[in-house]
Amino acid sequence: MRLPANETAARRRKSAGFAAVAAALVLAAAAACGQGADPGAIPPPVDAPAAAQPLDQADVDAWLDGLLPASLEQTGIAGATVSVVHDGALVTARGYGNADTGEGDGEQTPVDPEETLFRAGSVSKLFTATAAMQLVESGDIDLDADIDEYLDFEIPREYDDDVTMRHLLSHTAGFEERISGLIGEGDESPDLRVALTTDPPVQVYRPGTTPAYSNYGNALAGYVVELVSGTPFEEYVQANVLDPLGMDSSTFQQPLPGDLADRLSGGYDDSSGPAGPFEIVGTPPAGSLTTSSVDMARFMLAHLGALPETPILAPETMELMHAPALTEETLGGFAEAPRMALGFFDESRNGHTVIGHGGDTQYFHSHMQIYPEDGAGIFISLNSSGVEPIASLEVRETVLNGFADRYFPAADDGPAAMDDQEAAEAVAGSYVTSRGFHSTFMSAFAIAGATTVTAVEDGRLLFEPGPVSDSPALYEQIGPNLWQEVGGQRTVATRTVDGEVTAFISDGAFTMLRAEPAQAVGLTVLLASTLVLLAGLVGWLVAVLVRRLRKRPYTRVPGRKWRVMTRAAIVAALIAVGTWVVIMMQVIGMQEVPDGAIRNAQMLQLVAMLGTVPAAVRVVDEVRRRAGWRRMAASALVLLALIGLAWFALSFQLVSPDISY
C-alpha cells in the first residue's frame, strides 16, 4: 500500500500552552508524510559518472555493497533486499542486514535474497493492474466501460460520468481517502467485498480529471477481476501471474501459507526494537503481496518482455499498460507532467523512460522500477522504517537515483529555464493534497499538510515543503505550465481554469489543489483560539490560587452564572481539542477508534459551541456595567476564541453525524 506517507513535511512546534494541539498537527503530518530527517543520515549520492558504468554483476555488487550497509546502519533500518535485471537476465540479488534482529525472542538471521520474504505494499498494485489487463486483453473487461457492468453492488457516485477500469488503474476515479481497516492484524483473511461495501469513500472529483491516489480504487479493480473471472482475487493472481512466472515464493494470501510464513522477515519500526505483528491489509489487491527480490526479478523481466516462454500479457497489451493512461482532454495542463500509466507511475530520469511503483506498510518499504527501452529493472525492499520519519524514503531514493545516474546517466542538460515573473505570481499560494478527507472529521487533517508556494526572483517558485519532500525546493519554469526543480529532475505541472491556477501536480497520482479559504487559515484560527482559551483558563486558575494563598474572601460579582458557564465551555473546548488530537493520532497510526470516543469528542465540541451564548452575554453585561477595559477585552477575546473553534468545528465537520474515517 501507499500509506499517507512522504507527501509533505511536519511542522514541529514547541509551546507549553497548546502542546496538545501542536502534537496533533505534528504527528498527523508526520504519519502522513514524514518530517525533518537529518540530510546527512545517508551517504550522499555519488555524482553521476561521465559515462555509464557496465551494468554487470561485478559493478552492481560493488556499488550496492559500498552504499547499503552504511545506509542501513546510519538510519536504523534492520535489513534490505535488492534485485537488478538487464538484457533478459537476473544481474544480481543481494541481501543486507538482518531479517531477524535477535531482539525479543528470535535469533539474529541475515537477509537472504532468495529465501527471505518481504511485504511489497503498494507494489502489489502492479499485479492487480496486470491481472486486470489480462482480462482486458481477453475481451472480458472493456477498459473504458462503466464498471457497473461488472460489479454486484453500487459504488458511491457524485457525478454522472462513467467510472472505468482506466480510471481505477490511473487513480482518477475521484474517491476521497479512507484509513479505517487499511492495515490491521490477526489471523483472519479479509473479505474483499465487505471491505469495499462497508462505509465506502465518497467520490469527490469528476472521473478522469483529478489524480488522487486511492487504495480503494485499486482494490475495486481487483474485485472486478474476481467477479469477471469467477475466481477469488488471490487465487486468480496466483494461477495467472505468479505461477506462470515461477514466482513460487510469492503470494497475496493473508495470513501466509505455512510453507512461506517461516521465511518472512520481521517488520520493524527500527533495528533496535522487536518485530511487529504480521500486517493484514484490509483491501488485499492494493497491498497484500508477500515476495522475494528474486521473484520480483521474474516479474520485472516479464514486463520487459524478456520471458517469451511464459508471457503474461501480449506485447501490444504490455505497451498499452506502460503508456500514459489519460490525455490532455481530461487532464488539461497536468498532461505536461509525468502521467500515470495503467498501474505504473512515470518515474523517468536522465532522459530515460522509467516506470515503477513504490509501496509502504507500517514496517516494510519497497519500490520497483523498470526501464522498458533499456531492458533493465531494479527492486528494493526494506524491513524497517528507521530512526527518522523519512529514512526509508531517503534510502530508496538514494539507491534508485544512484542506479539511474550510474548506469543510465543523462545525455544533456535538459531544457532551458524561462523567466516569467507574472506566471510565477499566478502559481503562488497555499495548496493541499487531493489525496485527503472531505466528508468526515478527518478533513481537518488538510491544515497540517499544506504546501506554500512563493514567487521569488527570476520567475522562480519556492515550494515549502518541496513536492514529495520535507525540505523547501526551488523550481524554475521550463514550459507554459511546466516547472522543474533547480538542480534536480522533478517537475511540476499546473492547471489553469478561467485564468486562475487551481492546482499543480508533481507525481502522477498526487495532485495539490489550491487551498480553500478555510484550509488556508484553519491552522491559524485553531492555534490562536486554543492559545487564548488556555491562557484564559490558566489565568483564572492562577487568580483562584493567589486569592487562596492570600486568604482573600470571595466577593460575589454580578454576572457570575455567565462566567461559570463560559468557563465550563472553555474546559469543554480544550478537552475536545485534546481528544481530537488523540483520535487523529490513532487514526493516522492505523489504530481503530471506538465510535464512542468520537461521539464524546463531538459532545464536548457541541458544549463548547453552545458556550458562545453565555460568553456573548457576559461581554454585553460587562460592557453595560463598564467593568473595565481589561476585563472587557479578556471576555471579548474568549468569545472570539470560542467562535473561532465553533467555526473550525463546522468548517471541518467535527460535529458531522458521519464519523467515518
Q: Which of 174, 189, 175, 152 is nearest to 282 (CA)?
A: 189
Task: Please give the pLDDT value at position 209.
Answer: 93
DSSP-based helix, strand, coil % in the chain, nearest 5: 40, 15, 40
Q: What is the pLDDT of residue 553?
A: 65
Question: What is the per-residue pLDDT for 137?
Answer: 97
Mean pLDDT throughout 38-55? 57
> Which pLDDT score is estimated for 301?
98
The residue with greater pLDDT, 104 or 61, is 61
Q: Please check the confidence at residue 15 and state whether its pLDDT lies above 50.
A: no
- Residue-wise pLDDT tens digits, 595-631: 899 999 999 999 999 999 999 998 888 888 877 778 7
The SS3 call for residue 166 is: helix
pLDDT confidence tier of residue 24, bands split at 50, 70 and 90 = very low
Q: At 332, which amino acid appears?
A: G
Question: Between 232 and 520, where is the model more confident?
Answer: 232
Say whether pLDDT at 23 is over 60: no
Mean pLDDT computed over every residue of the chain: 88
The CATH topology of domain 36-407 is Beta-lactamase (3.40.710)
Residue 358 has pLDDT above 80, yes or no: yes
Q: What is the pLDDT of residue 552?
A: 65
Summarised one tens digit per residue, pLDDT across range 262-299 is 999 999 999 998 999 999 999 999 999 999 999 999 99
The more confident residue out of 253 and 508 is 253
- Portion of the chain with pLDDT greater than 70, in percent: 90
Q: Give the residue-averaged pLDDT of 246-256.
A: 96
What is the pTM (predicted TM-score) of this model?
Answer: 0.87
| Whole-number Cα distances in Å, 396 to 32, 95, 116, 527 | 18, 14, 19, 36
SS3 state at 457: helix
Side chain identity at residue 472, one-letter code = P
pLDDT at 101: 93
Nearest to 441 by CA among 203, 179, 210, 643: 179
Helix H or strand E encompassing 507: strand 500-507
At 591, is the pLDDT very low, low, confident or very high (cuts 50, 70, 90)? confident
Count CB-CB contacts under 10 A for residue 231. Answer: 15
Per-residue model confidence as pLDDT tens digits over 448-474:
778 999 999 889 999 999 887 778 999
Condensed to tens digits (0 to 9), the pLDDT of residues 77-116 reads: 999 999 999 999 999 999 999 999 988 777 899 999 999 9
More confident residue, 389 or 139: 139
What are the pLDDT digits (tens) for 520-539? 888 899 999 999 999 888 87
Task: Output 478-486 pairs: Cβ under 8 A, ≥24 positions apart.
Answer: 478/414, 478/415, 478/416, 478/417, 478/418, 479/336, 479/415, 479/418, 480/423, 481/333, 481/336, 482/336, 482/337, 483/427, 484/414, 484/415, 484/417, 486/460
196-227 as b/e, with b when 16 or more CB fall inside 10 Å?
beeebbbbbbebbbbbbbbbbbbbbbbbbbbb
Give the confidence band of 547 by pLDDT, cuts at 50, 70, 90: low
557 pLDDT tier (thresholds 50, 70, 90): low
Range ranked top by mean pLDDT from 103-117, 355-369, 494-508: 355-369
Q: What pLDDT is recorded for position 559?
A: 66
Alpha-carbon gap, residue 268 to 362, rounded angstroms: 8
* pLDDT at position 31: 33
Degrees, nearest 5: CA angle 324-326-329: 135
pLDDT band at 143 (very low <50, low <70, confident <90, very high): very high
Examine the pLDDT at 46 and tell me if it is beyond 70. Answer: no
Q: Does residue 411 have a pLDDT over 90? A: no
Which segments of 408-559 does DSSP mark as H helices, in order? Answer: 421-427, 517-549
pLDDT of residue 440: 86
Q: Residue 478, Cβ neighbours under 10 Å: how many?
A: 15
**pLDDT band for position 68 (50/70/90)?**
very high
Does the pLDDT value for residue 221 go beyond 70?
A: yes
Q: What average pLDDT score do residues 191-215 get? A: 94
Q: What is the pLDDT of residue 551?
A: 65
CA 421, 423, 429, 432 torsion-angle sign: negative
